[in-house]
Structure 1
Amino acid sequence: MVPLTVWLCSDPHSEEPLPGPSARPTGAKPGAAICVRHRQRIGRELARHLISTCTREGDLVAEGFTTSEATLVAAAELDRRGIALVPHFPLAQHIGTRLRANLDQQQLTRVQMRPVRPDQMAKGLADHLGQISLVIGAPPPYETGGRSPRRIPATGCPACRADLWMLSSEQLGLFLAAAWRVLAPGGVLAVTTTARQQAGRLIDPAPRIIRHAQGLGFRYAQHVIALRVPIEGDELVVQASPTDLAQLRDYRSSALPPTVGVHATVSLFTKPQESASPPGPGSPSGGRAR
């Protein structure tokens, strides 16, 4: 049986407005910020748990499917080096501005972004093949069998815009294979997913990802429940957003109730100390993880 653990990852670090217009990236809309859905993919507290548990000072951490500055900030604050893959330039501008607002000059030297899609990670990190201690990824729903976004939300969230732009490019199976190539022997792959309701069914993408990773040679080491909401006594404190309140229905209704993101599933895999090359995309175990 795979060990199960629970991490408390209520993230108090909301994305505060930047000090003034001069701090915003060129062309950014006033008030534009990462939406709650994307901030929760990998929050700063979850990133700190992953980095402090799976790495040591000076180690190198890489992140695919990056949607915020959380992982890079946590890596720099914990004296690790961090590289985030951000192929969408407006999102990279936004993250860069957030990094400069949260880190000092010495910490900034420990982090960087590269304009590479997650499925191209091995090419983008060719100078670090076999050297990375931890790869973190929180694939979006359309990469794990969910619906595709049809339009850009009116909020102007740069991560939402990046999702739509990269829709036809990313392949989760290739990301997992690339993670194998860049990880050092004994390195850790952390994949974060969230179960969701779709067409009246509960969809949990974690089992598919686990099977695919194991087919590449990864060892499934740990199953983590990351609680995203605070705990007071023995109760979970869930605060409904205006969108959630708008979805409230009569208690007599037969329709499914609105969902609230209380936790995420984090699957931790290790690359064995001595391992063969993973199967390629054209082999029975390679290709898209769908």
Structure 2
Amino acid sequence: MVPLTVWLCSDPHGEEPRPGPSARSTKAKSGTAICVFHRQSVGRELARHLISTCTHEGDLVAEGFTTSEAALVAAAELDRRGIALVPHFPLAQHIGTRLRATLDQQQLARVQMRPVRPDQMARGLADHLGDVSLVIAAPPPYETGGHNPRRGPGTGCPACRADLWMLSSEQLGLFLAAAWRVLAPGGVLAVTTTARQQAGRLIDPAPRIIRHAQRLGFRYAQHVIALRVPVEGDALVVQAGPTDLAQLPDSRSGALPPTVAVHATVSLFCKPPSPEGTGGSPSGRAR
């Protein structure tokens, strides 16, 4: 049986970067804020849990399918090095602005972005093959091949527009293979997934990702439930927004109710140490 654990990962709604010494006076253009959906994919608290659990100070953390600055900020604040793959220039601009508004110069020196897609990770990190302690990924909960009909290219969220660059079935397989190449022996791959409704059915992408990762040689180390909503006493505090309320079906309808993003599933995979026990220090470790 795979060990199961629960992490409390509720980020404050509408979280804005704390003004840092390197913050600029100019504000980001209106209409370029990251939507709630993408800010939740890997939020600040989840990133801190992953990095503090799976790495040590000075380790290198890489992120594919990047939609916000959360993982880079957490890496810098926890004294790790961080590299995020951001192939979409408007999204990279947005993330860069938030990084400069949050981190000081010493912390900024620990993080960087590279303009490559997730499936190009091995090429984009050619100077770090076998050196990464943790790879973080939150693939979109759908395969693009166009775009999600609910969020087209006209949206103001730069992460929504970047989705068109992100995922197809073939690209996901190539990303998992690339993660194997960049990870150090003993390194950890953390994949965050969320179930979705499609044609009246609830679809969970996690089982397929788990099977594919295991075929590559990864060991399925831990299953994490990341709660995205606060807990008060013994109750989950779920607050529906206007969009959620608008999706409520008629009481006489047989349609499924809208899903609420209460939690995400995080699958942790470990790249086994080399048989000789050499091949790099296995600093990344799911505990």
The TM-score with structure 1 as length reference comes to 0.87
Tell me the C-alpha RMSD between the 2 structures.
2.3
Pair 1:95–1:265, CA change in 2 (3 A): same
Per the alignment, residue 74 of structure 1 pairs with 74
- Say whether the 8 Å CA contact 2:87–2:165 is kept in structure 1: no
Which range moved further: 88-97 or 152-161? 152-161
Q: Over residues 225-273 of structure 1, what are the superposed CA-to-partner deviations in whole Å (9 max), with x where a residue is unaligned?
A: 0000001111110011110111223333322111111000000000000
Give 1:3 shift: 0.3
> What letter corresponds to residue 51 of structure 2 in structure 1?
I
Aligned to 1:205: 205
| Contact 2:6–2:224 (Cα < 8 Å) also in 1 | yes
State the SS of the aligned residue for 1:30: coil
* Offset at residue 88 of structure 1 (A): 0.5
* More moved, 10-19 vs 41-50: 10-19
Between the aligned partners of 1:167 and 1:4, the Cα distance in structure 2 is: 28
Unaligned runs of 5+ in 1: 277-290
Q: Distance in 2 between matches of 1:275 and 1:72?
A: 32
Cα-to-partner distance string for 1:34-68 (whole Å, 9 max, x where unaligned): 00111111001000000000000010000000000
Separation in 2, partners of 1:265, 1:147: 25
Asked whether the 8 Å contact 2:147–2:163 carries over to 1, the reply is no
Give the aligned partner of residue 185 of structure 2: 185
Q: Which residue of 2 aligns with 1:45?
A: 45
Q: Deviations over 1:128-173 (max 9, x none)?
A: 0000000000011234x99942462654000011112446697000
CA distance in 2, matches of 1:36, 1:153: 17
Percent identity between matched residues is 85
SS at match of 2:224: strand
Q: How does 1:115-130 map to 2 (within 5 A)?
A: 115-130=115-130
8 Å contact kept, 1:21–1:30: no
Higher mean displacement: 161-170 or 60-69: 161-170
Determine the C-alpha separation between the residues in 2 that align with 1:74 and 1:102: 11
Distance 1:123 1:75, change over 3 A: same
Residue aligning to 1:279? none
Distance 2:13 2:253 in 1: 37
Tell me the SS of whatever aligns to 1:141.
coil
Greater Cα offset, 150-159 or 175-184: 150-159
**8 Å Cα contact 1:117-1:170 kept in structure 2:** no
Q: 4+ residue runs of structure 1 moved beyond 4 angstroms?
A: 17-21, 165-170
Aligned pairs for 1:1-40 within 5 A: 1-12=1-12, 14-16=14-16, 22-24=26-28, 29-40=29-40
Q: For the Cα contact (< 8 Å) 2:140–2:167, is it kept in 1?
A: no
| SS of the residue 1:97 aligns to | helix
- Secondary structure of the residue aligned to 1:22 is coil
C-alpha contact (below 8 Å) 1:15/1:33 kept by paired residues: no
- 5+ residue gaps, structure 2: 277-287
Distance 1:165 1:64, change over 3 A: closer
Counterpart mapping for 1:1-290 below 5 A: 1-12=1-12, 14-16=14-16, 22-24=26-28, 29-143=29-143, 148-150=147-149, 152=152, 154-166=154-166, 171-274=171-274
Give, in whole Å, the separation in 2 of the partners of 1:198 and 1:105.
45
Letter paired with 1:274:
S
CA offset at residue 196 of structure 1?
1.2
Is residue 38–residue 68 contact of structure 1 (8 Å, CA) maintained in 2?
yes
Q: Tell me whether 169-178 or 197-206 shows the greater mean CA deviation.
A: 169-178
